[in-house]
Each structure stands twice: as C-alpha cells, then as structure tokens.
Structure 1
Amino acid sequence: MVFSVKTFNNINQIGLKELGNNFQIDGDLADNPDAYIIRSQNLHDTEFPENLKAIARAGAGTNNIPIDKASEAGIVVFNTPGANANAVKEAVVASILMSARDYIAANAWTNTLSGDDVPKQVESGKKQFAGTEVRGKTLGVIGLGAIGARIANDAYRLGMQVLGYDPYVSIEAAWNISHHVKRVKDIKEVFANCDYITIHVPLTPDTQNTFDAAAFDLMQKGTVIINFARAEMVDNSALFDAIETGVVKRYITDFGTQDLLNKEGITVFPHVGGSTAEAELNCAIMAGQEIRQFMETGEITHSVNFPNMHQALTAPYRITLINKNVPNIVAKISTAVSDFDINIDNIINRSKGDYAYTILDLDETDKAKVDDLVARFESSDNIVRVRLIKGK
C-alpha cells in the first residue's frame, strides 16, 4: 500500500527518506493525503482533508496546529521532542554569554568608527562595554526537559550555580540532570535568587505570563531573562516596567513582536533558536520515522493528543480505533469482535483527555469477516476513526 504525504515549509530531504518506498511525497495524491509533515505552517485556518490521519510537526512546539480540531477529526498529531534540543541549548548559552559582555552593542559601536586612529578610539571607548563573568553567577532554569536539562548541566560546567524548577520532570529527564543542579519546589525561589533565568516549558494556560508583575517584584535588580520557549510566557507590559526600574537588565527572546523592537534592554532574535542544519535534519528524520511507524503499524510515538502505543504486529490483521473516552468502550469492542466469531490476538486501549486509542490485533485470515467488523466499528457511536492494517 502506498501512503501519501504532503509537506509544508522546507522539510529536509534526507529526513524524508526515512519514510521509505511505501510513501508518495507531494505527489498527485497530495490534495487528500494520509499525512502532513510541517514546520512552522499555521494550520488553524486550514480545512483538513477527509483522508488526513496524521500531522507531524518537525519541532517541539505545536501551537501552530489546532489540536482539539485534529482530535475531533481522529487525526494524530506528532512532534519531535529533543530533536532540536542541542541547538536551542547552544543558543541560550550564547545568549547568557552575550548578555554578560554585551557583544552585540560592542560590535555595533565599533562599526561606527572610522579614520586612521581607529585602534586609539577602540582603546579609549572600550571601557563602556566592560561586562561581567558568568562564573559564580546563579542561573534559574524553569523546565528541565530535553532542553532545560542540557542548559542546566552546561551552565554548571561554566562555573555557574544552577537552580532548576520543574514539578513535572520525567524520570528519564531526571537521570540526565547533574546532581550539582539544585532542584527547587517553588518557582518563586528562582525569581528571587537568580542572576539569569531561562524558561523551557510548553505554553499552557498555567504557563502563560509566567513572567508577570508579581514575578518581577520578587527579582533582584539586574536580572537577565531569556525566553526561547514562547512569546506568551512574558507579560510585556510588566516587562517594560521591570526594565524601566532596573529589575530586568536585559530581556533576550527568540519571538519578535512589534512592541519589543528597538527598545533599550531588549534583544530580539528571529525565531532561530532551533534553526541549525543539524537540528532541522534531526527533526525531519524523527518526523519521518513517526509517520512511517504510524501509517504502517498504527503504533504511536511522541503524539501530543493521543497516548504512546507500541505493540509488535504479528497477527494477520490489525484494527486501530480512535474513540471518545467513554465508559465500557473496550467491552463493546470485544463484543463486536465476538459477534463475528473472531478471536482477539491482543488488545490495548489507552486514553488521553477526551479521546482514547485502541490497537486490536485479530487472529483471523478471512478478509471478508474483518471488513464486516470494520464496517460495524465505522457505524458505531463514539468511534471517530477506524483503520485496517494488514499484518505480516
């Protein structure tokens, strides 16, 4: 079976090779594809094709995808967590060093000089750019996932004291965090005790405006805020007040908005934190692998709207079901299979929010009976999408 994939933005071609020979990329079926692979494409105003089953975001953030709309349509949304983590880590570490020494302003000033005595002008004017060293300073890292953990570890290696805050840190991430990083249970400890603060958490109603007036009130004068997460993490009005009073020495962000541009104390980059050749390749490879696995086996890895699901496909047929998370759904599925006198080889059902995903492996070789079962599921209430996958 050949699956159709439509790509948006510039997806690395080497990464797309991960899809293999069973996939047609941006071909004559792309108007109604099985899957999208995107980077920054905004899909909020996009009408999803009826055949669309999966969207892979070659990156970590999925704010450009209407997750609820996708779930209602039975579309599994994937991201690529950690694929660009090293790139963002390096951007943040560079930002810490640049803010300590103000290299950007120093370069801009030097380029205004002219004449035969430029070396003399440099020597007489360089004192205005005397900075500080980061060694011995304290960095606060909010969010200790793939990116935050790397930053915390590298900052310690630079000689910084590091406070980490993440009430939801995974066991896998915790193993990768140096024991020299001090974990704090209250985010207020980060605000009150750090010279530098960087944030690396998803944008949710709880994390929006993490840096608000109350947070700035807790900070010591001269704090540097680094935001490579999302623009909405910071209340800009409160930020401007904090800069005016000297509480915030510098704000460095990867998310430009009109009100941030050309302001004293603010450095804005054009969303390039994860934009390295290596990161883009890693994201494309991971996105390709996720789509291939899902389309060929129904297994799910790194979905933001459905649970991770893995089960070796050894049965003659596999049916996957996306269903509303309602009581007794598994019993109804089992009853339907029994009504067709089919044996269940294996079944897994897991939920995430309002929806659930079921992998149903059937010990049955009669395709007609399996097709009738699929039709039963397709006509059932609370089942959003049904897929039939041929086994080995």
Structure 2
Amino acid sequence: MKLVIDDACYAYDTIFSDFGEIRALPGRSINNASVQDADVLIVRSRTRVNQSLLQGSKVKFVGSTVAGLDHVDQKYLHDNDITFFSAQGCNSMAVAEFVISAIVNLADELEFDYQEKTLGIIGVGNVGSRLAAKANLMGIKTLLNDPPRQAQEDLPDFVDLDVALSADIVTFHTPLTFDGKHPSYQLLNEGNFHHINDQSIVFNAARGGVIVEDIWQKTQTKVNIIDCWENEPNINQTLQTNAYWATPHIAGHSVDAKFMGSFMVYEALCAFTNTKQDDSIVNLINPGILSVKQDNLKDTLNQIYDFKQDTAAITNVDNFEDYRRNYPIRYEWHHFDSTTVLPIV
C-alpha cells in the first residue's frame, strides 16, 4: 500500500509506517501527480481535496487530521466511492484553552472581573461545548448560539445570534459552511455588525470567512483576538496590527491535538483495512508530570504557554506558514501539576 501524507501530520512515520510505503510532502505541495499511485491520502488543512486533486488516482481512503471540513469536497469523495474520515474534535481542548488564556490575560491587563462579563459562544460543537464548560467552572455567564443544534435538540438555554453578538466577549467556533439552512460564511456581516461596539471583545478561532474582515477592520472594538483569517497566509495586516493577539491559525496546535488528529485517522484506517491496532500508539504522548508553581491563574497559564510569542512570531507575516509548520511544543493543561487550580473539565 502507498500512502501520501502531509509532512505536518504528527508522528506520521511512527503511526502509519506499518501500512506501507509513505511519501511525505508539505500540504501545499500535494498535487494530482503526487497522488496518482497512492492508495491512501492523509492531509491537514492546506491540501484542497477535490476532483482536481484525485482524478485518475487510485486513492480509496482520505483522512484529514484536522477538525475543519471546508478543504474537502465530500460529495466528490462519496460519489467516487472514496472513504473519508475527519478528526472532528481532535483540537477542541486546545482551542478552548487558547480562549480562556486570552480572557484571563485580558481581565488582568484591562482590569475587569471576568465573572461580571457575558461570553457569547457562537457554535457549540466540540470546541464551543468545552469552552462553555470551562467558562461555567470559572463563573463566567455564557450565551450559547448554535441554530443547527437548536433545531435538532430544542435546547432551552440557547439564544439567537443577535443576543450572542451583544455579549461582552464574543467568540466564534463554527465550521465554515456555505449552504444549508444555517451557513456560517460571513455570519458576522453588515446586517448584524452593529451589535459589536467599542466595548466588545471579539475572537475568531473558527475559520477565516466567518467574519467579514472588510467591516471588522473598520469597526472599533475593545479588543480583537484573531487566530483564523481569510486568505491565509496573506492575512489582513490592518486587523493584524490592531489585534491584541494575532496568531497564525495555531489555537488548536497543542501536541495533544496534533497527536489526536493523527491517531483518530489511524483508528479509521485500521478499520478500513481491517488491521489490528498497535496498542502502544495511544500512549505516544507521555511528557510525564510537568510542574507549575505560580500563585495566580494568569501566570500559571502563561508559564504553561505564553501565546503572546505566537503574535510576535508573525510580526513579519512572511513567517506565517513556517511558524505553523514548526510550531513550538505546547502541552494541554491536564499534563501539569499546578499550585493554582486550573479550569480542567
């Protein structure tokens, strides 16, 4: 069996080597010629998986080690009997930790009590649900908005989009969708941007395209935290310059998340090929007990990982892609023995 794998997939050589011959390439370099004789394709978000890529190839299994779906033409895969698996939820804890870290830093630097703020969470799937649980543990009032879930589950505590946008802190965690009853493309747009004002704190840790950036760059807010951008890596430099944290789409880039993305695809490929799993792979991430001896939550979180270095790393925007591909080691909170109680849930 021949596998073409994005070389940014975590531990791909260890995890997938038993399946056959691996050809590892940067995601943006994977093209039709490189997959012609491949049986399996494993990608991250930088490879557009569609007819143009796969036509004429032998590929019968596509695995995506990231949570997003907008880079994959699922209809083409279905119509051509190509099995597809996406690692939904693999980075949900990492993104939730990213948002909480930013809120805690902002509360300290801008001198507000986060327990007196409302947090509008738009998109309450894997990430939004984890974030809501952490926020509730910290005493932050949440306003949850997710029309697709609301339609299916009749959740009485959910609010409409306008209410969520009127929160003190607004954070987006939707997939990027263009059709259906509730498309998320340009969800925050000229028709509802008036809910965002000069006291709003706005996060985009979802997907570029969820917020109309041309309007956002002209809208005065209290703070913007932007991890996801339109036209990456050619990002909006006005928004970048004015943001509190402007990071290169790395909110979900913990070691744990990257491992889990690869591991979830590994499990799916084992099922597809009727291969017995190697039990040792699940324990591949084992940094031991890491210690943090700070007496407050902000310093504790920043010792675990100071996200401001991610902003500094792309002061020169030409570093965007290289920094993502060579991202520093960052472990999630549950690995740490902390003097200060962490909001782990």
Q: Classify 1:258/1:58 alpha carbon distance in 2 versus 1 (closer, same or farther; 3 Å).
A: same
Aligned to 1:51: 58
Aligned to 1:249: 222
Q: Quick one: distance in 2 between partners of 1:41 and 1:208?
A: 19
1:201 corresponds to which of 148, 159, 174: 174
Q: Quick one: distance in 2 between partners of 1:266 and 1:49?
A: 47
Is residue 43 of structure 2 the alignment partner of residue 38 of structure 1? yes
Equivalent pair of 2:91/2:257 in contact (CA under 8 Å): yes
2:274 corresponds to which of 287, 290, 296: 296
Aligned to 1:136: 116
Aligned to 2:126: 146
2:190 corresponds to which of 193, 210, 213: 213
Aligned to 1:6: 4
Report the aligned-residue RMSD: 2.9
Q: Classify 1:271/1:51 alpha carbon distance in 2 versus 1 (closer, same or farther; 3 Å).
A: same
Is residue 84 of structure 2 the alignment partner of residue 77 of structure 1? yes
TM-score after normalising by structure 1: 0.58
Residue 217 of structure 2 aligns to a residue whose secondary structure is: helix
1:222 corresponds to which of 199, 207, 231: 199
Aligned to 2:325: none
Write the mapping of 1:155-234 to structure 2, written as runs, cut at 5 A. 155-169=135-149, 183-192=157-166, 194-205=167-178, 206-219=183-196, 221-234=198-211
Cα displacement (A) at 1:227: 0.9
Equivalent pair of 1:138/1:162 in contact (CA under 8 Å): yes
Residue 76 of structure 2 aligns to a residue whose secondary structure is: helix
Q: Classify 1:263/1:234 alpha carbon distance in 2 versus 1 (closer, same or farther; 3 Å).
A: same
Equivalent pair of 2:189/2:212 in contact (CA under 8 Å): yes
Residue 93 of structure 2 aligns to a residue whose secondary structure is: helix
Cα displacement (A) at 1:9: 2.5
Aligned to 2:105: 98
Cα displacement (A) at 1:186: 1.6
Tell which deviates more after alignment, 284-293 or 209-218: 209-218
1:226 aligned partner, one-letter code: F
Q: Quick one: distance in 2 between partners of 1:187 and 1:22?
A: 46
Cα displacement (A) at 1:182: 7.5
Q: Classify 1:265/1:51 alpha carbon distance in 2 versus 1 (closer, same or farther; 3 Å).
A: closer
Is residue 257 of structure 2 the alignment partner of residue 279 of structure 1? yes
Q: Classify 1:258/1:143 alpha carbon distance in 2 versus 1 (closer, same or farther; 3 Å).
A: closer
Cα displacement (A) at 1:270: 0.7
Give 1 or 2 for the bigger CA radius of gyration: 1
Residue 12 of structure 1 aligns to a residue whose secondary structure is: coil
Cα displacement (A) at 1:89: 0.8
Residue 191 of structure 2 aligns to a residue whose secondary structure is: helix
Equivalent pair of 2:170/2:203 in contact (CA under 8 Å): yes
Equivalent pair of 1:213/1:239 in contact (CA under 8 Å): no
Residue 263 of structure 2 aligns to a residue whose secondary structure is: helix
1:86 corresponds to which of 93, 118, 138: 93
Cα displacement (A) at 1:274: 1.1
Identity of aligned residues (%): 22
Residue 170 of structure 2 aligns to a residue whose secondary structure is: strand
Cα displacement (A) at 1:263: 3.1
Cα displacement (A) at 1:215: 2.0
Q: Quick one: distance in 2 between partners of 1:49 and 1:9?
A: 23
Q: Quick one: distance in 1 between partners of 2:13 and 2:86?
A: 15
Structure 2 residues not aligned, in runs of 5+: 25-33, 230-234, 276-345
Q: Quick one: distance in 1 between partners of 2:157 and 2:197?
A: 20
2:260 aligned partner, one-letter code: N
Equivalent pair of 1:251/1:265 in contact (CA under 8 Å): yes
Q: Classify 1:170/1:48 alpha carbon distance in 2 versus 1 (closer, same or farther; 3 Å).
A: farther
Cα displacement (A) at 1:19: 5.0
Structure number with the higher strand fraction is 1
Residue 242 of structure 1 aligns to a residue whose secondary structure is: coil
Q: Classify 1:222/1:170 alpha carbon distance in 2 versus 1 (closer, same or farther; 3 Å).
A: closer
Cα displacement (A) at 1:261: 4.7
Equivalent pair of 2:69/2:175 in contact (CA under 8 Å): no
1:198 aligned partner, one-letter code: T
Equivalent pair of 2:188/2:211 in contact (CA under 8 Å): yes
Equivalent pair of 2:145/2:160 in contact (CA under 8 Å): yes
2:105 aligned partner, one-letter code: M
What is the aligned residue count?
Answer: 254
Cα displacement (A) at 1:97: 2.3
Cα displacement (A) at 1:11: 2.1
After superposition, the C-alpha distances for 1:159-198 in whole angstroms (9 at most, x for unaligned) are 2111111133399x98xxxxxx972242111123x10011
Cα displacement (A) at 1:234: 0.6
Q: Quick one: distance in 1 between partners of 2:8 and 2:193?
A: 39
Q: Quick one: distance in 2 between partners of 1:258 and 1:219?
A: 19
Write the mapping of 1:278-357 to structure 2, written as runs, cut at 5 A. 278-296=256-274
Write the mapping of 1:232-243 to structure 2, written as runs, cut at 5 A. 232-243=209-220
Aligned to 1:343: none
